[in-house]
Structure 1
Amino acid sequence: MISISSIKHLRIPFSIFLLPIFFFALALTPNLNPMRLLWVFLSLHLFLYPSSNGYNSYFDKDEKSIGGLKNPPKVTKDLYWLAQAFFLIALIIGLQISVTYALLLLIYGLVSMVYSHPAIRLKKYGWLSWFITGFFQGHFTFCMAYIGLSDLDWMAMFRPHILIPGLLTSLMLWASYPLTQVYQHEEDGSRGDRTLSLKLGVLGTFLFSSLWFLITAAGFAWFFMDRNQEAVLWVYLACMAPVVLFFFVWFSFVRKDPEKYANYTWAMGMTWISALALNGFFLYYFFENTQILQVINQV
């Protein structure tokens, strides 16, 4: 029997935080197909990501706040099998597109499993887990979505027009990921997980993320300028302005009292405002880059 706690640990609404990568891939996909779009969206956001969330929660057994759950309920045995069932459904949906896409889903799922499985537990290796998480949730996910949406073979991952925007998404994740760990130092330390944020310290985490946010902004500025999309660049900067403002307001409070303000509420506030801004921008970019807005205006 499936428990309510297990359903909560899937954290399905939390998938919205990775939705910008899907929209970015969607914006750059030249041959859109409604059914492929539906299959890719469902396989990633309704099944693969929740499967990963549930699997990691099962082995972490967190008692304090985690992403998307301020007060996580106690983990039960059925969570493990529920997570595996969601993973299997994701693979079955992936096969509706291609074997290649299903294999990419499989690779992503297996990597997410070793992140928290006690036999390997990448999470305890700060720099390695930071790099792998950013790479797979960013670049790999972008390429996976693009290949699924376009029904391409896996070699497409190495083509510059896919490789470069994919790496830009990893820059976003490498910048924001340590901030999601900043309120978990005590619990991570008690389990022996030397996360990057724990290694850097609270203030070091903010300085590190600010540097990577700057690199990310420079990367996207170059990308849009290279495509002669100066107007899009200004929209991007406008969408990022609230995120930057929130970050520096939060940082100013943290500098005064790290223990008080490096908490779940502020971290989730940062995550939510980033998700709303990025989803809004990449959804706009999808309409703009595919010229759907121009078609609508002419009707």
Structure 2
Amino acid sequence: MMIDKDTIKLLRIPFSLLLMPIFILAWSQIRGAVSWIDVLVPFLIIHFLVYPASNGYNSYIDKDQDSIGGLEKPPMPTIRLFYVTLILDIVALLLAIWLVNMAFALCLLTCMAASRAYSARQIRLKKYPYTGFLVVVIFQGAFTYYLSYLGITKEFLELNGTNIWVLAACSFQIGGVYPLTQIYQHKQDLADGVVTISYKLGYRGTFVFSIIMFAICDLCYFLYFTNTNQIASFYIIQAFFIPIAAFFGYWFSQVVKDTRNANFKNTMRMNILAALSMNICFIVLLLKN
């Protein structure tokens, strides 16, 4: 089956890489030596197979005509895109079983099921503002950290009092970003019968809610790094939060003046800046450890 350029575009692979920070964070917190192959295999499976398949499936179901994450003018999907997403998921599961272990494959399958339930017309969790929000923050946050740790070490993360804080931090971090990614899509989502948490909160409410999520995230990071005797790592994170907070504050002020500033371009600027800052931040933690 030939894959055309529009199908590749709708997989939104560059957008999948915006979710790299949590994988790198999990890698940085692993004690003991791991080989490059131990890291590379789960990284490629998650970011070049599972996430693109999820993105593509969402695009196939929604058939967006306006801007979506990573694409200002998305092409119209075809049935070819649907089959490509199935192939990517199957390949991901087979490679996970062969190169990692069955536990990692089962966790991937859980992620795939959640992604399908989020988008599929028969279930359509995304149309429920609070349920959809919880699914995204859990699976792109805490579960991704858990999955990444399992993929690299081939061992389950111990769910003790300390590790719960870093899992919570990951979910609250996604909880701060996710509503901002919906802020320019209110009309498009409503036309498709989707009521997002950003729409429920309104433009100003979305920013206030994100501030609360980021504050709780930061508290969880403080508790985790304090409990693991890595307080210097917490301060490193604060330094990399500065450019994110600066643009966030600027953007918020512009939206207060004119809600038309809650647009695709500013949303992508926020996403890219946050992803780059946190990727570099967690690479620094990785090198430090």
Distance in 1 between residues matched to 2:279 and 2:241, nearest whole Å: 11
Q: Quick check: 1:11–1:53 contact (8 Å CA) kept in 2?
A: yes
Q: Quick check: 2:166–2:220 contact (8 Å CA) kept in 1?
A: no
Q: Quick check: 1:157–1:163 contact (8 Å CA) kept in 2?
A: no
Within the candidate set 91, 108, 112, 1:109 is matched to 112
Within the candidate set 150, 154, 157, 1:151 is matched to 154
Which structure 1 residue ranges, 4+ long, deviate > 4 Å from structure 2?
none
Q: Quick check: 1:40–1:145 contact (8 Å CA) kept in 2?
A: yes
Q: Quick check: 1:67–1:268 contact (8 Å CA) kept in 2?
A: yes
Tell me the CA shift for residue 107 of structure 1. Answer: 0.6
Please report the RMSD computed on the Cα atoms of aligned residues, expressed in angstroms.
Answer: 1.3
Tell me the CA shift for residue 6 of structure 1. Answer: 0.9
* More off after superposition, 225-234 vs 107-116: 225-234
* 2:9 aligned with 1:42: no
Aligned residues: 286
Tell me the CA shift for residue 262 of structure 1. Answer: 0.5
Q: What residue number does 1:62 align with?
A: 64
Instruction: Show structure 1 runs of 5+ residues with no match.
Output: 290-299
What letter corresponds to residue 287 of structure 2 in structure 1?
A: F
Distance in 1 between residues matched to 2:174 and 2:124, nearest whole Å: 20
What letter corresponds to residue 110 of structure 2 in structure 1?
A: I
Distance in 1 between residues matched to 2:202 and 2:31, nearest whole Å: 44
Distance in 2 between residues matched to 1:58 and 1:231, nearest whole Å: 45
Distance in 1 between residues matched to 2:29 and 2:243, nearest whole Å: 25
Tell me the CA shift for residue 281 of structure 1. Answer: 0.6
What SS is found at the alignment partner of 2:100?
A: coil
What SS is found at the alignment partner of 1:194?
A: coil
Distance in 2 between residues matched to 1:87 and 1:159, nearest whole Å: 31
Tell me the CA shift for residue 132 of structure 1. Answer: 1.1
Distance in 2 between residues matched to 1:163 and 1:39, nearest whole Å: 26
Tell me the CA shift for residue 206 of structure 1. Answer: 0.9
Q: What residue number does 1:249 align with?
A: 250
Q: What residue number does 1:93 align with?
A: 95
Tell me the CA shift for residue 227 of structure 1. Answer: 2.6
What SS is found at the alignment partner of 2:31?
A: coil
Tell me the CA shift for residue 161 of structure 1. Answer: 4.6
TM-score by length of 1: 0.93
Distance in 2 between residues matched to 1:269 and 1:34, nearest whole Å: 31
What letter corresponds to residue 40 of structure 1 in structure 2?
A: P
* More off after superposition, 67-76 vs 23-32: 23-32
Distance in 2 between residues matched to 1:202 and 1:273, nearest whole Å: 20
* More off after superposition, 32-41 vs 265-274: 32-41
Note the alpha carbon deviations across 1:80-123, whole angstroms, 9 max, x for none.
Answer: 00111111111112111100001101110110011110000000
Q: What residue number does 1:287 align with?
A: 287
What letter corresponds to residue 27 of structure 2 in structure 1?
A: L
What letter corresponds to residue 51 of structure 2 in structure 1?
A: Y
Q: Quick check: 1:138–1:169 contact (8 Å CA) kept in 2?
A: yes
Q: What residue number does 1:174 align with?
A: 175
Note the alpha carbon deviations across 1:252-281, whole angstroms, 9 max, x for none.
Answer: 0000101x2000000010001000110011
Tell me the CA shift for residue 157 of structure 1. Answer: 5.6
Q: What residue number does 1:297 align with?
A: none
What letter corresponds to residue 197 of structure 1 in structure 2?
A: S
Note the alpha carbon deviations across 1:197-224, whole angstroms, 9 max, x for none.
Answer: 1111111111111111111122212222
Distance in 2 between residues matched to 1:231 and 1:239, nearest whole Å: 13
Task: Output aligned runs, 1:243-282, within 5 Å.
Answer: 243-258=244-259, 260-282=260-282
The change in CA–CA distance for 1:91 and 1:157 in structure 2 (over 3 A counts) is farther
